[in-house]
Amino acid sequence: MPTKRTFVDLTMFIHEDMPTLRPDHFAPSVIPYSDLAESGWRGSKLILDSHCGTHLDAPSHFVADGGTVDAVELADLIGRCQIVDVPVSTYDAPIELEQLPEITQPRIFFRTSCSDRIETDPEGYFHHHAYLTSSTARALVTAGVRLVGMDCPSVDLVGDDAHQILLQNNVSIIENLVNLSTLPNECDVIILPLPIVGCDGSPVRAVAELEIPDAPGES
């Protein structure tokens, strides 16, 4: 059956009023420095937290000698991805090893539906979300996973060690994904961080690429 490609944006929009986990992280600022009427062109200074909105954690975020975002392999960030459903009842609860299905792809996104609450309940979003246990994080490393994504603000809670386990093994982390509810159980993804030399992370543009059947009469 003929198919066509379509794309789903998995990225939070960046704006100065966006929900932010404070005081750990700060909201972005967009500051115009050139005006169209006076200069004939527009320019703006951007002040962005390296973990603003939908973002990538590079190993150096938690690992003393870990690699920085400019060294992350694009091959880890582009390709087939497995979407793992996590029951809504696991808000504020761990994603246990027993909940993992068979891992079939080197990229895993956990679909928790937590991002549905980002606008209506930011407090709940940032402080009551599913998270990975140490054993689950280790199992992902053992399975050869290279990229772990979550539609919530963190892979762990304060004091847990999923970040360290994944990043020590050069598994990149994507947090604050959105729109995972629109994806099938597998799809291709494209994750593009800014190659900021020496930095611990970067906002990303995260996109899923889907193939859907052509409607009758389309070619």
pLDDT at 182 over 90: yes
SS3 label, residue 84:
strand
Looking at residue 218, what is its pLDDT? Answer: 58
pLDDT at 158 over 90: no
What amino acid is encoded at 22 in this protein?
R
Q: How many angstroms separate the most distant Cα atoms in the chain?
A: 62
At 33, list the tokens: 């420095």
pTM of the model: 0.92
Which of 51, 55, 61, 163 is catalytic? The answer is 61
Once rounded to an integer, what is the mean pLDDT over residues 46-54? 96
Residue 20 CB coordination number (10 Å): 19
Name which of 18-32, 38-52, 57-71 the model is least confident about.
18-32
Sorting pLDDT into bands at 50, 70 and 90, what band is 54? very high
Looking at residue 79, what is its pLDDT? Answer: 98
pLDDT at 62 over 80: yes
Looking at residue 157, what is its pLDDT? Answer: 84
Q: What is the mean pLDDT of the chain?
A: 92
Looking at residue 20, what is its pLDDT? Answer: 86
Sorting pLDDT into bands at 50, 70 and 90, what band is 1? low
Contact between residue 191 and residue 56 where contact means Cβ atoms under 8 Å apart: yes
pLDDT at 219 over 60: no
128 has catalytic annotation: no
SS3 label, residue 166:
helix
Contact between residue 28 and residue 7 where contact means Cβ atoms under 8 Å apart: no
How far is the C-alpha of 178 from the C-alpha of 145, rounded, in Å?
A: 21
pLDDT at 2 over 80: no
pLDDT digits (tens, 9 = 90+) for 9-33: 999 999 999 988 877 788 999 999 9
How far is the C-alpha of 115 from the C-alpha of 215, rounded, in Å?
A: 31
Which residue has better confidence, 6 or 23?
Answer: 6
